[in-house]
Amino acid sequence: MAVRHYTLDFNLSTAVECASVVPGLLSIFHEQELAETIHDTNGHGYLATFVGKNGRLVILRVHSHGLVTIDLQCYEEDNVAQLDNLLNSLEKKLKVILNGNIARTKKLPPLVRGAKVDRYWPTADGRLVEYDIDKVVYEEDSPYQNIKILHSKQYGNILVLDGDVNLAESDYAYTQAITGSGKENYAGKDVLILGGGDGGILAELVKHKPKMIKSVYIDQKVIDGCKKHMRKTCGNILDSLRGDCYQILIEDCVPLLKKYVREGRTFDYVINDLTAIPISTSPEEDSTWEFLRLILDLSIRVLHPKGKYFTQGNSVNLTEALSLYEEQLGKLSCPVDFRKQVVCVPSYLEQWVFYTAWKK
């Protein structure tokens, strides 16, 4: 049983004495049969808590610098109309009491805490966002990560790995961006996909009749989930690990890349779709950045001299991480040039940077 947490805040144009605000509001709380406690705040304004018989908790603070905050916590099955009434009464009364002194009133959609289906998946740049998620359709803990596929009314199913929104069925813009925005000719080409367990890139590229695509992904359980629940993304491509022009290898890409380097094998396109937080079974790559650089270096080494390397970067707001990544691009054993592009991926709720790199 979840808790609904309402907030109702008033920014005042000028600070007010608590004594001028509180008595007028108390009558409203008393009508609700709430048990009142007034707390000593050591000079930080007025603070009272009110506890109801049905698990309701109201917190009223009149901050000395001109801010009134009200919190209302209640159980999910509580009477919503009654609570709306309470909040509206408080708002109306405060408007009368503070006549003309309210610079801003803010009543946010309630936070739903402890719900069976969690709707809050913060962005990479750390903002609080609520999704329209109504169902968990798949959940597994693999040896590598926690895997969830969540249903959203507007984005379709969303793959979430270790709490990070990876890709939704609405996100063809992601697949487009990481395959070169429709400007590449994959016909007859050799392609290597690193990551991409959702099958979106593979499903897109097989349409272009490449010579052969090797798709390397470590986690069978992601493939199992996506095969069943992300079909708007992968179509039927994950139903078989092998087709006329593709092969899906369930393994760690690092040893495979090393083998390709040893064999002198090259690809016309290398597409790095590994998750933002890297996963590796090799003990030698401890830190995220070392792992990133290792993958990058190996990828460029198996890239044909005229080939292209595509990858996703990060939130456009994480400028420091993006700079660090671009620094890595300058440190490879084989010099590369790169360009970047900012793309709106619908389910991300933030702008995302994609990179294209090639050998100088």
Binding residues (CB under 8 A) for a second copy: these are: 1-3, 5, 7, 9, 11, 35, 37, 39-42, 44-45, 47, 49, 51, 53-55, 57, 59, 61, 63, 65, 67, 69, 71, 73, 104, 106, 108-109, 111, 113-114, 118-120, 122, 125-132, 153-155, 170, 173, 315-317, 344, 346, 349-351
Residue with Cβ nearer a second copy (268 or 350): 350
Residue with Cβ nearer a second copy (95 or 359): 95
| Residue 4 Cβ vs a second copy, minimum distance, rounded to whole Å | 11
Residue with Cβ nearer a second copy (52 or 243): 52
Distance (Å, whole) CA 308 – CA 186: 11
The SS3 call for residue 230 is coil
**At how many degrees (to 10) do helices 253-263 and 288-301 cross?**
30
Task: For strands 190-195 and 212-217, give the pairing.
Answer: parallel
User: Kind and range of the H or E element at 165?
Assistant: strand 164-168
| Residue 51 Cβ vs a second copy, minimum distance, rounded to whole Å | 5
Supply the residues annotated as catalytic: 273
| Residue 123 Cβ vs a second copy, minimum distance, rounded to whole Å | 8
| Residue 131 Cβ vs a second copy, minimum distance, rounded to whole Å | 7
Distance (Å, whole) CA 70 – CA 61: 6
Residue 132: exposure state from Cβ atoms within 10 A (0-12, 13-18, ≥19): exposed
Residue with Cβ nearer a second copy (67 or 329): 67
Distance (Å, whole) CA 274 – CA 146: 15
Under 8 Å between Cβ of 315 and 129: no
